[in-house]
Amino acid sequence: MPQSSPARPSGPTSTRRRLLISLGALLGSTGLLAGVGGLAGLAAARNANQVQTKVLRVGLQKSSTFNILRARGDLARRLERQGIKVTWAEFTSGPPLLEALAAGKVDVGETGDAPVIFAQSKKAPVVYFGQSQPNPEAVAILVRQNSPIRSVADLRGKKVAFAKGSSAVPLVVNALARADLKLSDITPVYLQPPEGRVAFESGKLDAWAVWDPFYAAAQVGGNARVLVNGRGLTSFRLYFLANSDFADANPGLLQPLIRDLRAAGQWALRNPGESARFLSEATKVPLPVLEVSERRRLGRYQVSPIQPGGLRDQQRLADAFVKLKLIPAPIRVSDIVVDLGP
180 three-class SS? coil
> What's residue 63's pLDDT?
83
Task: Write out the residue limits of the CATH 3.40.190.10 domain(s) in the chain.
Answer: 17-133+237-336, 136-229
Q: Which of 8-22, 147-161, 284-298 has the lowest mean pLDDT?
A: 8-22
**Segment 14-73, tens digit of pLDDT:** 333 233 323 333 333 333 333 333 223 234 335 778 999 999 999 999 888 999 999 889
Determine the Cα–Cα distance for residues 250 and 56; give it in Å rounded to an integer.
10
- Per-residue pLDDT, averaged over 301-312, amounts to 94
Matching CATH number, 17-133+237-336, of 3.40.50.300, 3.40.190.10, 1.10.10.10, 3.40.630.30: 3.40.190.10
Average pLDDT over the chain, rounded to whole? 86
- H or E element in which residue 229 lies: strand 224-229
187's torsion region: left (phi>0), alpha (psi -120 to 50) or beta? beta
179 three-class SS? coil
The 3-class SS string of 210-225 reads EECCHHHHHHHHCCEE
Taking the CA atoms of 294, 298, 304 and 306 in sequence, report the sign of the dihedral they define: negative
Fold of 136-229: D-Maltodextrin-Binding Protein; domain 2 (3.40.190)
> What's residue 2's pLDDT?
36
Would you place residue 121 in the very low, low, confident or very high pLDDT band (cuts 50, 70, 90)?
very high
Taking the CA atoms of 18, 19, 20 and 23 in sequence, report the sign of the dihedral they define: positive
